[in-house]
Every structure is written in C-alpha cells, then in structure tokens.
Structure 1
Amino acid sequence: MQKILRQLAAEIRVQEQQIRAAVELLDGGATVPFIARYRKEATGGLDDIQLRELESRLGYLRELEERREAVLKSIEEQGKLTPELRAAIEAAPTKQEVEDLYLPFKPKRRTKGQIAREAGIEPLADMLFADPKLDPAVQAQAFVKAEKGEGGEDFTTVPAVLDGVRDILSERWAESPALVQQMREWLWNEGLFQSKLAAGKDENHPDVAKFRDYFDYAEPIGRVPSHRALAVYRGRQQEILDAKLVLPVEPEPGKPSIAEGKIAIHLGWSHQARPADDLIRKTVAWTWRVKLSMSTERDLFARLRDEAEKTAIKVFADNVRDLLLAAPAGPRVVMGLDPGIRTGVKVAVVDATGKLVDTATVYPHEPRRDWEGSLHQLALLCRKHNVDLIAIGNGTASRETDKLAGDLMKRLEKPIEKVVVSEAGASVYSASEFASQEMPDVDVSLRGAASIARRLQDPLAELVKIDPKSIGVGQYQHDVSQADLARSLEAVVEDCVNSVGVDLNTASVPLLARVSGLSSSVAKAIVRWRESNGAFANRKQLMEVSGLGAKTFEQSAGFLRIRGGTNPLDMTGVHPETYPVVEQMMQKTGKPVAELMGRAEMLKSLRPELFANEKFGVITVKDILGELEKPGRDPRPDFKVARLTDGVEDIADLREGMVLEGTVSNVAAFGAFVDLGVHQDGLVHVSQLSHKFVNDAREVVKTGDIVKVRVVEVDVARKRIALSMKLGDAPARRDAPGANKFEAAGRGQRPGREQQPVSTAMAGAFAKLQGLRKS
C-alpha cells in the first residue's frame, strides 16, 4: 500500500500524507463531495477533481497489485521465478507490462515451438542463431528423427527440423517483453490506422453513406481523434468498414518490411550472406507476419479505443455537468408546452414549488388548426394561475408552438417570457416508474409537459430524475464502455447536486438519493417522514428518519438545506459539526447568528486563527466565514433566455450573413452545436469559435450558453448549417513581413500555407454530426 501511496502522490503532485488521509477517508466510506468540502484539513485542501482522479487511480493501482501478485505466484509455482524477473514484474507500472512479462510463462495450449523443443531441437536453434556461419542443412542432420512422434510430430526430414528451428526462435522473440514493447510504441507513433469501404457495400445506401469520410481513410494511429476512432469502430462493427493497422511505408514485393528491420536491429543481427542468414531472415519475417503483426494491431486497437472512450466519456460528462449546472429560473409559475402536430400541444402548469396544478391539450396545428381556440384556452390558464414563464420543448413543431406562445404573450395583460428548452429524455422520464408515482393520475404525454416546465425552474432537480445517458449531450455514448460511462456520469451528477445543495423540504427522492451519503432507500425514508410529520424544522430531525444513522448524517447534513427553519445555519453549507465554531463567533461579536449572516464587513474583521482548534483548523474556519458572508448562495449563473429571431422558423428561412442568437446544445472537441430554433442544430466548427487559435471547443463555450452566431453556409437538402462566432473584425495581424512564422501557426494556420475556406474546414465535421445524432 505504501508503494501505491507514493505513486499517487507523484501522479497528482501532492504530499504523501495528503494521499494517505484521503485514502483512509474513502476506505472509511466517506464520499468525494464530503471529503472535498468538509475534510480539507485532513487532505490539505484536495479538491473534488483531484479526489476523483485519486479515486479512479486508486482502484486501478489496487487491481494492478492484485494481478502482479497472481503473476508472481504463478511463475514461482512453475519454478521459473528469478530475482531479475521478480524485480522487473514488481517495477512494471501498468497491467500491460505485467502481462508482457508474464507472456512466456502463461499457461497455453501446446504450440509448434513447444513441440519442437520437446523434440530436442532447441540446441540447434540456439547454435544457428549464435553462429550463422554454420550450415543449417548440415547441422540439422543430427536432429532428424527416425520416425514420427507418438502425437504425430514429424521431424523426419531436414526441412521439418528447420521449420522447428523457425518456430522456436519466432516464438521466443515474439514473447520478448522488450521487443514487444518496442514494436508497440514504434507503431503507435508511426503506424497508420486505415479504413476502407467493405467489399460489396453500396456507398450510396443511407446507412453506408454516413461513413463516407472513412471509405479511404488513413491517419497515424497515435494521433487519431476520439470521434474519428469511434466512428471507424462503429463502421467496422456494422460491417460497413474494414479497419487495420498498416506500416508507415509498405515494403516492395520480395523486400523486407520496416517492421522486420526493426526486429533484426533489436536482435543485433544483419544479413551478411552467411549460410544460416537466409533461415534467420525468414524466421524474422515469420515473427512479424505470423506472431507480432496481429497481436500488435489488437493491442494498439484496444489502446486507441480505450483512449477514445476516455475522451468521449469526458466530453459527455462535461456536457452533462454544464447542463445540470445551467441557470435556474427559480420559484416562478411556469407553463410547459410539449409541441406536437396531429396529437396536439400538451400543456402543463406547475406552481412556484414545481407542483403540477393544471393540464390541457390544445390543437393549433394540422389537422385541426384551432389557433384562436388554443390561444383562448392558454390565456385562461395563464390568468388563472398567474403564469410567469412559458417553457417550450424543442421537438417537432417547436417553432410553430413558439409563434403560438408569442401571440399569447401579446394578449396577456401581464408581461411574461417564453423560453425554448431541450426536451431530451422527457419521454424517458414520462414513462418511468418515478413519474407514475409522482403524477399517478396524469397521462404519460402530459407528464412530459410538466417535466419541460420544471426544467426551466431548476434543471438540476428535474434532470436527476433521468438516466444521464438519455439527456442527449453525448458523443458516441453507445459505443463506449457502459460501465465506465455510468461511473463517470454518476460522479458528475453527485458532484453537481452537492455543489448546489438540496432543499430538504422540497427535494424529490431521485434528487435526495444523489446527496452525499444518502442511498435511494434512505431518500425514500426521508420523504415518508416528511409526508407523515410535515416539513423538517432543523437538521437534527434527520436523526429521527428510519435508517439514517450518525455516519449518514455526517456525510449528508451539510448538503441539505432548510429554509425558514428554527436554526438559520441550516440554510447554509455550514456543517452541523462546526456549529460550535459559529457560536464562538457569536460570543466574540455579541451578535446572534441571524445578524452575522450576510454582514461581509463584520465577518471579514474576524481573524480565523482565533476560532481554529485541534479538530477544525484555519481552512475550515475560512470556509465557515465564506458561507456566512453569502448564506445559501447558488453557484449557478443567473437566468437569461436566448431571443429567437421572428420569421426564422425553418432551415429554409436562413440566409448567409444572418446574425442570430441561439443556445449551445452540445459541445464536441471539433466544435459546438447551436440550437437556432429551426429543428436542425447548426455547427460552429472549432476554427470558427474565435479569432484566436482554439484546440478544444470547451475552451470557448459550454452546453447551455447563449451565443450570437453568423450564418456562414446553409445546405437545405442535407440539413447542414455552418455557423461562425467570429462576428467582429479579427485582431490586428502581427505576421506582416518579418513576423514570426510560429505566430501564424498559433492562430491555426500552418506556416507557409493559406487557411482553408470556412466551408472546407467544416465539411468533415458535418459528417461527424451524423454520428453524434445517431449516438
């Protein structure tokens, strides 16, 4: 364990004692949000990002140690464990390297090399490789057998014996950890990841055409971006593409390949026209073609997929985080409109607490076209419930319904706002068991409208009811490890919920279940207690909930808020265990806690050192003062809405040069997708996000951002919209004659080359949009 702690400290670049404290807390059942927020003294201030990395690497390193011990035990039982081999295995930093070292000793079926060794041919193989001046045919005579072996082994001829030499040497070389690792790293850096259209596939078929960018594609495997790797793997899985690893330079017919040359150099051998050199050359070629090429391709394809999946999962997790932490409209009465054409527009009104108070269905579109009747019914609902906001789902007929809401607003005496919101996952929630418990007497379709309304009030509280994979902001999420994806998304949701805090008296079971330390069963018990006893008056009452013990209280209490309770501190992020510290502050100032809260000048005059003790140090006291200064603060941004342009309701309404406002609906490494309210998201390619060079789109925008964009190109037939966020003039250029060529490169332009037109730069990215949509 000490070795693991040292390695983690080096990787995360913190002190070993910080790692030890964090590991002890994690092993003791503490959650990452709790440790990051309330155990800063113990960990030296490790934040949630460092703790998540520690948690992930700790699991890997423990699995590595278990595998290391199993391998050592297996080799020792075979009587082949030397001090040098033990040292090498104990020093191996990855599972892959442990497996490389174990390969020669791994129990396997009898190989041709093993059969040849059993026949006593190994001395001949050693002799010919050690001294190529020896004549193989002459030396092999002494190893020819008079008859076949009992298992059918045939070494009765010189060629058969020399084949045995080839099998012994090629197997030995292919199991050499140093050679395997050298070839693997060389090909990772220089090998090409190649894909072609599979034989017999119609390239014009819709399911095939979306992979057009990969019909004749090759790129250095170590530099393949995540989205391209996953696209090729998906095409291969669907038997549309053939993919393979190819050498950077293909050999001429009859000539040795670069790979064979690399093997020869590693062995310290070269062809010098000696009697055994032809045999050794053929053995080297056999080692590459039969032994190493396929296994290396398999290993590197697995490595590429692993790295691509990690990137894709991170993209998805980052987008989910941005969506969950989007600005809430707050406690306002909202009317949710779930657009539909023939089935009508579903209407749900929720009060300021999110409670469903009314529903209806109106039919303003085809075939009924009851525009006036729909407006009349909606106006009655708005007046009856004093509606503040209208939330409109962004699905089919969204813009038509947005126009209906616009006409409705003109008829109302009270000014209200309308907002188009993502309805991704609303249908999943509507049909869920929780939705049926929450709204048992409401039609499934109307539940979706209620969910759309609540998303505007509090995106976090509503979206936690849905499987994060259904939220619709992923990149090839169905192609990655579902276990790893689920683990990552669970961590994101947990971090988001606990960073904001949860109202104990209004939170749903799914939201409470995401609070640090609370399980689904305890969350249900909290809601049952609330229904039986009324609202919680203070955090202490949590101890009355069945199944909620001292440990759970410690982990969860600081993240649960009570507004209007008996103790003002219960609405803050101050943990109950530190209430005595606040009492000392009250004694020092002579003020009750209610008068301390929000009094920035008074709180800043207090010296944290005066209130620190053995249990709670200066770091914790500073956090308490910060909470008291801004009690119950919400880390999410202020609520604002995108203003959609009148008359722009369909992709056909767009014109080049238009400047529009929209909402970022998804972010990938190659660009950002923006919802303009025309049923088809536009793409801002990464090269069009800023006048400065941008490596990753998330450096500039995140999901949920409201942005202004210029329409660059519209392809109605293929439903493609190219956008740019470069609205103003570019900054003054510094690459006049004599300017540094690397400054031009820093702006995304290669030295000595002109920049490509925008449409050319975006062409490949549009194909990826198809992959994103399908995923």
Structure 2
Amino acid sequence: MSNVVDEVQQKRQERIIKQVAEELSLSLKQVRTTTGLLDEGNTIPFIARYRKEMTGELDENQLRQIEERVQYLRNLEDRKLEVIRIIEEQGKLTEELQRSIENAIKLQEVEDLYRPYRQKRKTRASVAKEKGLEPLSVWIWNQPKQGDVLQEAERYIDAEKGVDTAAGAVQGALDILAENIADDATIRKWVRRYTLDHGMLTSEAKDAEVESVYENYYSYRELAKKMPPHRILAINRGEREGMLKVGLDIASEPVHRYIAGQIQKSPSVVDHLMTAVIEDAYKRLIAPSIEREVRAEMTEKGENQAISIFSGNLRSLLLQAPIKGQRVLGVDPAYRTGCKLAAVDDTGKLLEVAVTYPTPPNNKKKEAAEKFKELIAKYDLELIVIGNGTASRETEQFVADLIAELSNDKLSYLIVNEAGASVYSASKLAQEEFPNLDVAERSAASIARRVQDPLAELVKIDPKAIGVGQYQHDVSQKHLEESLKAVVESAVNHVGVDVNTASPSLLSYVAGINATIAKNIVKFREENGKFVNRRQLQKVPRLGAKTYEQCVGFMRITGGDTTLDRTPIHPESYEVVDRLFKELKIDKQELGSKQVADLLTSQNPNELAERLGVGVPTLRDILESLQRPGRDPRDELPLPVFRKDVLKIEDLTPGMKLQGTVRNVIDFGAFVDIGIKSDGLVHISQLKNGFVKHPMDVVSVGDNVTVWVMNVDLKKGRVGLTMKDPSEEQAHA
C-alpha cells in the first residue's frame, strides 16, 4: 500500500515541478533540485550563495518564486483531494467531474467545480427543493416544444408544503434553475473573464459637499483591468472610510446572450421563462459574487504591487552606505518636549544624552546652542543627524545657523528618515539596550546610529514600521510581514554579520538562525569572550549541524585565527582555497595585498576550476571574496548628501539645480529630499528621457540625484522636480 501512495505522491510532485518550470521558464532540473533543497530544510540565502552549481545559479528572487509556486500548487493538490472526497461521499462523483477537478490549474477553478456540491445556507432554491419542485424545474430545463407550463405546475400544488398556486410552483422551479445556472463552473469562468476584461470600476461621493483627499474619485470611471495598483488601493481606502460608493459596471446583454447560447434550445414553450431565469441568475446570483471576486482580484493586484514597492524600498534603505569613522550627534526634534540629543562615538557607543528647547513654544535658542557647542567640543563630533519628524525643519534651521556660527569645516548635518524610531524606543529591546534612558532619548540614539550602520540599527525595528512605500496599511499584513522579513533576511546575509559585535536582532536574520539561537550566540560570546574561529559556533547551545551549515558562511570573524573566517567563503570550500593557494603559490599571510588581488583578478575561472576540480560559480565567488577579504559590499555605494545650510521653499525658482536624496519610490514617481520642509516629487515622466516602465527601474531609496525645479506651489507646500537636464531639453527643442 505504501508503494502505491509513494507512486501517487511522486506523480503529483512531478506534475507540480513541470508546471512551475513552464510558468517560470526554468528547466525541470532547476525546479526539481531547488524543491529538493528546500524540502531538506535549506534556506534561500544559503542555496542562492552556496549551491549555485546545483540550481544553475538561480538568484534569491527566482528561488522564492519556486518556493511560493510549489507551495501554492501543493495546497491546490490537497484541496483537489479534499473536494473529490467530499463529492464522492455524496455519491455524486463522475469520472468526468473527477477529471475536471484533477486538471484544474487554479484554486478558483476547483472551487467553481465544487460549488454545486457545497453545503449552502438556506436559499430560495433550497426552499423550493424542500417543497418538492425539483421535478418541475427539470421539466422546464428540458425545454419541451409542446405543453402548458401552468398546467404542468398544477400537479405540484400542495398547501401543506406551502405551494398554493401553479404560478408559485413555477417561480420555485425557476429559483432552482437560477441557482443551477449560477453554480455552473463553465458559465462562471466565462463571466469572470468577461467582467475582468470589460468591467468599468465606478466610484462616486457619498456626500459631494464634503472635502476630502478622495475628490478625484467623486465621479470616476475606469476600465478595471487597466487600473494602476495605487488607484485601486486609493479607491478601496475611500470606500472603507465611508467617503466613496464603489461598483463594477458591466453591460449585461452580452452575458445574457452567452448564457442563453449555453443552455437554451429554441423553439420551446418555456422560452420566455428561460430568458427570465437567465436574467435572474445573472443579476441576483452571478453578478454580485463575480463582482466580489473581481474586486478581490484587483485588490490582490494592488496589494502585490504595494508590497513589492515597499520591499524594494526597504532593501535599498537597509543597504545604504554606512558612514564609518564619524562621531555623531543624534537629534530627535520636538516642540513642547524639546529636542533630545544623543552623542555616540564612531562605534555607536552612547556617550551622553541631553535635552534642549530651541523650537517653539520655548524658543530657548541661546541655551540650546550652548549645549550643542558643549557636546560638539567635548566629544569632537563631526556630524549632526536630525530625525525628519515633528519640528525637524525648525531644528534644521537652528543647526544650520549653529554650524555657520562655529565656522567648523568638519561639521555638517543630515536629515534622516526617522520612521520606526519611536516604535523601537518603546520596545523591550530598547529598554534592555538603554535601561536608564527615557523613550525619546533612546530615539535620539537610534537616529544617530542609523547613519553609522543603517542595517544593524534598522533590523531592530519591525519592518512594517519603516514607512517606505505606499498604502502599506491597506494590504494583507501577513503577506506584507512575510515579504519584508524575506527582504531583511536577504539584506543581512548579503552584507554578512560580524559575530563578535552583532546584536541578537541582527543575528536572528542570518540564514538558519532563530531568535533563541541568536541570544545563545551573544550569551556564549559574553561568557567565553570573542569567537576566534567559525568552528566555535558549533559549541553554541541549540546550534546544530544543519544550522551551522546554513549560517556559517554569513558569519564573519575579524582578527581571528583563520583569515578565511572574515570572508563569505563557506568552510566547506576551505580545502578548495588551500588547493588554489598551492596552485598559484600564494602565501595566506599575503592575502589582502594588491599583488595577490591582481593575481587573483587575472585568473580564468573556467580553466582554473577544471584544474581544481570545483564548480565555476563557486570558484568565481571564492576569487572575488579573496581579492578583498573583509569587504563590506555597501562601501561602494554613495554616501548621503551632507548639508551645512538650509533651503526654504520660498528660495526655489523654476530651473534651479539641486542635489537631493531619494526618500521614497512609488508607482507614479519618486520623492526627493532637497533640504526643504517637504520632499519634492519627480513624476515618472520626469525621471529620464524616454519611456519608464516603473520608477524603480531608474532610482532607489538612498540614491543621490541631481534635480531641477519645475514648479513651486507655496500654498500647498509642494515642489515639482525633474531629473531631465533642462539645457539638454532646450538643445533638442
């Protein structure tokens, strides 16, 4: 029996692998190997980095696509078995129906096929069946050429059952037929497709007199399938907040014609009844449920795009270049409660905290300036970092005036996105890290540290609290959480983690490591001193062989007793490195020198891999890792724009050239910090010459960009920017 079960499971697995390979344009071997590796408990970062030969060098995105599709199709197969079992228990399973269920490629198709057999709540049709009217419905369904329907219906009059008239019997029979038509899988599939292709989404104001951000949608129509994701989510939010009435407008005549073509046999004495029942089935039963399904599908499209944007922006934010070697003053601005200050050294160690009141309503600028000067001089601070929340621009003006007064060439300031700082400050983690500070002081420390190492600081915050996206509060929070966790995991493993300095938060995102093991690593480090080699990780409680295999390549040990431990090279490849050094006559002690780097760069990986008996992708990664051991991949990224003075919106004029930092990328453009109170918008049409499919193809969060002012709206505080050089535009004109 077990052999039969195994054979069925094997066939099912092969069917899934074949479908995923076709959908993603990958080879069967790639999908089969990846699925096998995932089933064995390997993590995606590990597979992407250290199993390239096996997967044909699939990247993390492709691996995640395989994982998601395989899981969906496995769930689909489980649902098919469940549906077949239920229908079989009802004694209604036919070979044709079973075949249709087994061949379905979407969950929606399975549910459509199951619909007629699902237990329903009380409906008009079920009441009519209880009254014994099913035989009359069959008589009408057969569409006889002769006979009198009312005369036929008189046979079913039964006062005890509640059938008092022939007309009432006919109506009950029609209710049964309407439900049968509405439950027909083929009809539903066609109507769903037609509605998706031709439906017009409409919205109107519930009260046109009320001003709101939804005024663009107070009288709005757009072809549903062409609606961009951000508009779908905007209308959904307006509907949810009770500002808009939303519907799906669809011409019913083509639908009636299609259904009639499927079921009507003319001429018949019941033609008028069949026409009526088709109209009733569509209007009362099919249209409302299909509209819900289509709206749900549109929402899913909007959510997927919003999550994709949030994920892309988050990755860019996490991987911003760290500002190394600078002592920083973090400032958490506020009005009434004052600006909280936190001075940190170049390692992020907290030196001192203070509070000043340079902003309204206190306006104690002189006292605040003295405290700022005192801290700057005491700790030789070089950079002031201001969170971009409440009172940030007034604080910025104060800091710019202070820098001008000090005439300190080394001193500059930055405005940073403080999203999530308050969430972190109130967290248990922050309380453990800074037990003697209040919430706002912790926030100032976090703001200071997030420029020194954005990744290490931002992983302490729930990714959802880092608001770099659009409509993130309107999407499936479970799906959002899963996607953002994958982004953080990917970023952490891309950079690697110093096992001797990393916090439990950072360690918990390393491939294979969970929160418990992360805490155990830190505890082991505190009790036994610094790790001197990667092998010591095997002594950490709960860190077993599989976890060690998954995580160790992403762990870095600087200054340990094994040079390779500070590289991304996995210990399983150390033997290959030994053979490589012998082959090229390299002394390990010379690793990191320009001479060795040049020698490694000049190698032909294809030829060398054959001589060493190793895969080309693995050798390519080894050569790259050895050229600059201990390299941080973020070091090659541009640093943010440092400022010394303030720009006001009133200072801006069309054509003015400015440097800015991209703060957020959304469907219709990018918001750029140019040093004024509100970020300026570069519309998608102004990102570059030529067609732009999506802003993310051109810019990322954290990018330093050159922009020109297009227009200024002083009343609304809005600035339109362009990244197209006006001088080039004029030259082409």
Structure 1 counterpart SS, 2:204: strand
Alignment partner of 1:618 out of 601, 613, 616: 616
| Structure 2 CA distance for aligned equivalents of residues 226 and 607 of structure 1 | 45
Question: Closer, same or farther in 2 for the Cα pair 1:558/1:613, shift >3 Å?
Answer: farther
Check conservation: 1:21, 1:43, Cα contact below 8 A.
yes
Amino acid at match of 2:340: K
CA offsets per residue over residues 531-571 of structure 1, 9 Å max, x none? 22222211112122222222211111111111122111111
CA offsets per residue over residues 408-445 of structure 1, 9 Å max, x none? 44426562332211111111111111111111112221
1:32 corresponds to which residue? 44
Amino acid at match of 2:400: G
Check conservation: 1:329, 1:639, Cα contact below 8 A.
no
Q: Report the TM-score, using the length of structure 1 for normalisation.
A: 0.87
1:226 corresponds to which residue? 229
| Structure 1 CA distance for aligned equivalents of residues 47 and 656 of structure 2 | 50
Q: CA deviation at 1:647?
A: 5.1
Q: CA deviation at 1:180?
A: 0.5
2:5 corresponds to which residue? none
Identity %: 44
Would you say 1:265 and 2:264 are equivalent positions? no
Greater Cα offset, 707-716 or 131-140: 131-140
Would you say 1:171 and 2:168 are equivalent positions? no
Q: CA deviation at 1:123?
A: 5.0
Alignment partner of 1:600 out of 588, 594, 597: 597
Greater Cα offset, 397-406 or 478-487: 397-406
1:551 corresponds to which residue? 546
Check conservation: 2:328, 2:384, Cα contact below 8 A.
yes
2:429 corresponds to which residue? 434
2:199 corresponds to which residue? 191
Would you say 1:144 and 2:155 are equivalent positions? yes
Alignment partner of 1:204 out of 206, 210, 216: 210
Check conservation: 2:343, 2:445, Cα contact below 8 A.
yes
Alignment partner of 2:28 out of 16, 24, 27: 16
Equivalences for residues 441-590 of structure 1 within 5 A? 441-590=436-585
2:373 corresponds to which residue? 379
Amino acid at match of 1:638: L
| Structure 2 CA distance for aligned equivalents of residues 647 and 40 of structure 1 | 50
1:751 corresponds to which residue? none
2:329 corresponds to which residue? 335
Amino acid at match of 1:16: L
Question: Closer, same or farther in 2 for the Cα pair 1:135/1:681, shift >3 Å?
Answer: farther
Structure 1 counterpart SS, 2:331: strand
CA offsets per residue over residues 485-532 of structure 1, 9 Å max, x none? 000000000001100111111111111111111111111111112222
2:350 corresponds to which residue? 356
Amino acid at match of 2:698: V
Check conservation: 1:128, 1:134, Cα contact below 8 A.
no
Structure 2 counterpart SS, 1:446: helix
Q: CA deviation at 1:93?
A: 0.6
| Structure 1 CA distance for aligned equivalents of residues 407 and 548 of structure 2 | 48
Check conservation: 2:662, 2:673, Cα contact below 8 A.
yes
CA offsets per residue over residues 291-330 of structure 1, 9 Å max, x none? 1111111111111111111111111111111111112112
Q: CA deviation at 1:136?
A: 4.0
Alignment partner of 2:314 out of 312, 315, 320: 320
1:752 corresponds to which residue? none
CA offsets per residue over residues 691-747 of structure 1, 9 Å max, x none? 21223111221111222333333333333332222232456999x9xxxxxxxxxxx
Check conservation: 1:25, 1:35, Cα contact below 8 A.
yes
Question: Closer, same or farther in 2 for the Cα pair 1:510/1:366, shift >3 Å?
Answer: same
Alignment partner of 2:278 out of 278, 284, 287: 284
Question: Closer, same or farther in 2 for the Cα pair 1:479/1:269, shift >3 Å?
Answer: farther
CA offsets per residue over residues 210-250 of structure 1, 9 Å max, x none? 11111111211112221111122122222221111111x4x
Q: Structure 1: which 5+ runs fail to align?
A: 252-256, 737-775
Structure 2 counterpart SS, 1:690: coil
Check conservation: 1:133, 1:275, Cα contact below 8 A.
yes
Question: Closer, same or farther in 2 for the Cα pair 1:269/1:192, shift >3 Å?
Answer: farther
Amino acid at match of 1:401: T
Question: Closer, same or farther in 2 for the Cα pair 1:400/1:120, shift >3 Å?
Answer: closer
| Structure 1 CA distance for aligned equivalents of residues 446 and 156 of structure 2 | 81
| Structure 1 CA distance for aligned equivalents of residues 191 and 702 of structure 2 | 45
Greater Cα offset, 656-665 or 32-41: 656-665
Greater Cα offset, 336-345 or 523-532: 336-345
Q: CA deviation at 1:119?
A: 5.6
Check conservation: 1:644, 1:662, Cα contact below 8 A.
no
Question: Closer, same or farther in 2 for the Cα pair 1:221/1:391, shift >3 Å?
Answer: same
CA offsets per residue over residues 742-768 of structure 1, 9 Å max, x none? xxxxxxxxxxxxxxxxxxxxxxxxxxx
Amino acid at match of 1:601: D
CA RMSD of aligned residues (A): 2.5
Equivalences for residues 154-169 of structure 1 within 5 A? 154=163, 156-169=164-177
Alignment partner of 2:92 out of 80, 84, 98: 80
Amino acid at match of 2:619: V
1:217 corresponds to which residue? 220
Q: CA deviation at 1:644?
A: 5.4
Question: Closer, same or farther in 2 for the Cα pair 1:466/1:65, shift >3 Å?
Answer: same
Check conservation: 2:552, 2:570, Cα contact below 8 A.
yes
1:640 corresponds to which residue? 639
Question: Closer, same or farther in 2 for the Cα pair 1:42/1:613, shift >3 Å?
Answer: farther
Question: Closer, same or farther in 2 for the Cα pair 1:602/1:442, shift >3 Å?
Answer: same
Q: CA deviation at 1:268?
A: 5.1
Alignment partner of 1:49 out of 41, 61, 68: 61
Check conservation: 1:359, 1:446, Cα contact below 8 A.
yes
Structure 2 counterpart SS, 1:173: helix
Q: CA deviation at 1:632?
A: 2.5
Would you say 1:591 and 2:586 are equivalent positions? yes
1:670 corresponds to which residue? 668
1:683 corresponds to which residue? 681
Would you say 1:99 and 2:108 are equivalent positions? no
Structure 2 counterpart SS, 1:329: coil
Question: Closer, same or farther in 2 for the Cα pair 1:607/1:667, shift >3 Å?
Answer: closer
Amino acid at match of 1:726: K
Q: Report the TM-score, using the length of structure 2 for normalisation.
A: 0.92
Aligned length: 716
1:698 corresponds to which residue? 696
Amino acid at match of 2:232: A
| Structure 2 CA distance for aligned equivalents of residues 443 and 613 of structure 1 | 61
| Structure 2 CA distance for aligned equivalents of residues 288 and 54 of structure 1 | 38
2:188 corresponds to which residue? 180
Amino acid at match of 1:641: P
Question: Closer, same or farther in 2 for the Cα pair 1:153/1:606, shift >3 Å?
Answer: same
Q: CA deviation at 1:461?
A: 0.9
Check conservation: 1:395, 1:679, Cα contact below 8 A.
no
Amino acid at match of 1:304: M
Question: Closer, same or farther in 2 for the Cα pair 1:407/1:225, shift >3 Å?
Answer: same
Question: Closer, same or farther in 2 for the Cα pair 1:408/1:639, shift >3 Å?
Answer: farther
| Structure 1 CA distance for aligned equivalents of residues 215 and 387 of structure 2 | 33
Check conservation: 1:665, 1:703, Cα contact below 8 A.
yes
Amino acid at match of 2:562: N
Check conservation: 1:573, 1:627, Cα contact below 8 A.
yes
1:769 corresponds to which residue? none
Q: Structure 2: which 5+ runs fail to align?
A: 1-12
Amino acid at match of 1:148: A
Structure 2 counterpart SS, 1:144: helix
| Structure 1 CA distance for aligned equivalents of residues 471 and 86 of structure 2 | 40
